[in-house]
Structure formats: structure tokens, C-alpha cells
Amino acid sequence: MSNTVFAWRNWCTEVGTLSVVTGSFESEAPASNMLTPQTGRVAIAEPGAAAFTVTFAGGLDSPEVGRPVHMIALLNHNIVDMPTAGSFDIGISSVGGGGYAPAGFPRPELFMVSDGQFQSHLFWITPDSNPVTGYDRDEVTQIAVGIGANLLCGRVDPITGEVTPEPFRCGGIWAGPIWQPDRGLRHASFTSGIVEARRGATSIGGQYYPLPQARRRRVSADLTLTSETETFRLSGDGPGLQQMAAWCGTSRPLIVIPDVSDPELIYTQGVYGYLDGDISWSHFDTSAKERQYRGSFSITEAL
């Protein structure tokens, strides 16, 4: 597939400081849970409006150099619908005070998979720059998230479509650079299903309580890289496969979005997880005697 996106550094968990501006979060599920790589540790907002910021470089007036933020993601959220403008807002600020607020954040009714079983993620690719405000996505210092009181959150019954309202919750917030191979990915397999945690859990009276759970999704894919520039980070070039693999290994998470041109695939096949094994690649020569590289990998969704 073309337009594949890899996100492999998350400034929120690495160097971010989260501050709640308005509203509050449950003490048992504080906002700081969004800064951990464990999407199962959710932050739960108190009913009503709330807003928070994540700062990477010491604030808007800091002389520090900002960081590249090419994609922002909410991981394992329970947003069902954004019924009106302003029900959910996100803004980013860069060095020198330049800011950007998108006019139309992706609307989650495209997928509505917040059924409490499978994880729901929301991805947004940031624009290059805004000369009017001075915003530069390679020099970002802070992102801000606003949660309106009328934002519809909860669980959707997959049969009836009925929504059970719940307070806003989120397992993680992601902001960082992306890498896009010229030829994208070729999916070898995309697996997902349901698994029973264990059998035999019963009450004192002997009643059996089944506990089916969503199995972690797993993506296996092949990729072909058209040059050394894509494979290795040469002087003056952007990130490449070797740089991403050296940072992530099998212990740091990354995001893979199969096709950014198709919203359905973004929301249903975008996976946040870990590489199952070390990435390797080998070179081959095309009929035109051009050297290219081919590799394969698999990723298992993180919980």
C-alpha cells in the first residue's frame, strides 16, 4: 500500500510534562496515565469540560529548540461522536509562539468502534507550516487538548448502535515525527479475534461467568525500499528504516498506519504496538541495475 506511515518517537512519553488546565481527572485514573506507554492504563476525566496541555520544550517563551511533531494521536480512547464544533479541540504551538488549530479534526463517526473491546485510536497528520501564525511542525513546543462537555464518549452496542455514555477516557497521547517509505507496505497478514481468558471462573453458587476478551491485533508486512536514502539515514537525509529500528528494537512502541488516504483503514488498521522481532533487510538489484532493499516485520498491538 502507498502512503504508509510509521511513527516511532513519542515526545509525550519521552520528555513531555502534562498539565490539567481546566476540569479534573479521577484520582484512581489520573491524567498522567496518558504519558505512559501502557494504553491499558487509562486516564478518566470527571464529568464536564476539561482541557490539558503537554509541553516538550519548557513552554511557549522558552528559547529551546522545538521538536518535530508530524502526527498527533489519541490512543485507546472512548470518543463516539463530536456532535458540534468545539466539542473536541486540539492545538499545537511552536518556537516563537506560532500556533495552529485545525478547522476540522477527523470526525470519529467514520468508524465508531468504541465498543469497550477493541482499542480505538484517533490519528491526525499535522500540516507543514502556517506562515501567518509562524507555526512550524518541526519546532513544536506544546500541544493542547480541549474536551467539551457535549463530547459524546462511551460504548457503542455493535448490534443496535445504542450508545452507553461514559466520561472521556484515554490510554495515551502521542506526538512525534513520522517516516513514510516511498512504496509503502504489502500486508502479509492482518489478524484479530476474540480469546477466552480462562475457563472455570465461577461464583460461590457455581454460576460460570465467561470472560471473552479482544485478542491483540497483529500485523505482518513486507516493504521494499527504493534507495540507500530510505534504508539508512545518510547525512542531510530524514529518518530511515535503520534509524527507526535502532531506536525501537523490540522494547519501544511505534505506530503503523497502512494507508493515510483511506479513513476506514486509518481507524481500523492503524496499530500501536511493538515489533515481534528484530527487523532485518537485504539488498537486491533491479533489472535497471538499481540497488534496492527488501525487508519484513510483524507488530503486535500493545495493551
The one-digit pLDDT tens for each residue of the chain (303 residues) are 447 888 999 999 999 999 999 999 999 999 999 999 998 899 999 998 899 999 987 545 555 678 999 999 999 998 888 777 778 888 888 887 777 776 555 554 445 455 666 788 888 888 877 766 778 888 899 999 999 888 889 888 777 878 889 999 999 999 999 988 877 666 656 666 665 555 555 666 666 666 555 557 788 888 877 777 777 766 655 677 888 888 998 999 999 887 656 666 666 678 899 998 888 888 777 766 777 888 888 888 887
> What is residue 5's three-state secondary structure?
strand
pLDDT in tens, 61-83: 555 678 999 999 999 998 888 77
Structural domains present in the chain? 7-178 (2.60.120.260), 186-301 (no CATH)
Question: What global pTM score does this model have?
Answer: 0.83
CA pair distance 81, 151, nearest whole angstrom: 7
Burial of 158 (0-12, 13-18, 19+ CB in 10 A): exposed
Residue 297 cell numbers, joined: 516485520
CA pair distance 104, 124, nearest whole angstrom: 10
Q: Which residue has the cell 486509518?
A: 266
Report the pLDDT value the prediction gives residue 40, as an integer from 0 to 100.
86
Residue 224 cell numbers, joined: 521494499
